[in-house]
Chain A
């Protein structure tokens, strides 16, 4: 019930390509879906987040698409750059009185080739 499944595990694209990372969740009580970017040896950094009342959110080159009925959401990176090479994690939480405890996907290691 608490799982978040992420795919693919790894992804290689050419510079300028549009990598797409997908996540699926089971718990319908989740109502907050952030994406984190992690570089080697660093902590996860919040990239972009969405709530289920919208189907898409765009911030710069990063876009989240959200399908509430399918319980799926995805991250698109437009015009990808070598500096985007990192591990990306989707996550989900219930933003109730309990705060912000995140359930993470397994991560996608992205490599953007020059």
Chain B
């Protein structure tokens, strides 16, 4: 059973470009969570999704950020018109309902 798969592992974008981060949950997991980790800081919750539904997006910035978890395929975190402050590690976690969350290795986004 493969773990949570995130790609790409590293992503470099110029200011103003779009960043797309992908997350494939563990087999049998229907809950996906996205977190952001700034350098030397803890992880901050961004959004919680189930298949085709956003359950809680209270941690998502109001502009430029969006997330989806379609019926088929990975969950996508999209950041439009990236700025330097978006540079961070973005982690995806998955869980079955009411159980421990397992994290992927993260995508390290660098905005230049």
Binding site for B on A (CB under 8 A): 6, 34, 36, 41-46, 49, 89, 95, 98-107
**Shortest CB distance B49–A (Å):** 10
Question: Is there contact, CB below 8 Å, between A34 and B100?
Answer: yes
Binding site for A on B (CB under 8 A): 4, 6, 31, 33, 35, 40-45, 48, 55-56, 91, 93, 95, 97-106
Of chain B, the residue at the smallest CB distance from A99 is B31
Given contacts A43-B103, A95-B98, contact A102 B48 (CB under 8 A): no
Question: Is there contact, CB below 8 Å, between A43 and B106?
Answer: yes
Main secondary structure of the interface of A (DSSP, over half): loop
> Which A residues are CB-close (under 8 A) to B99?
100
> Which B residues are CB-close (under 8 A) to A103?
45
> Which A residues are CB-close (under 8 A) to B31?
99-100
Given contacts A99-B48, A100-B33, contact A44 B43 (CB under 8 A): yes
Report the bound CA distance from A72 to B4 in whole Å: 31
Report the bound CA distance from A75 to B20 in whole Å: 36
12 pairs across A/B with beta carbons < 8 Å?
A6-B42, A43-B4, A43-B103, A43-B106, A44-B103, A46-B101, A49-B100, A99-B31, A100-B99, A101-B56, A107-B40, A107-B41
With A100-B33, A101-B56 known, 8 other A-B pairs at CB within 8 A are: A6-B42, A43-B6, A98-B48, A99-B55, A99-B95, A99-B98, A100-B95, A104-B42
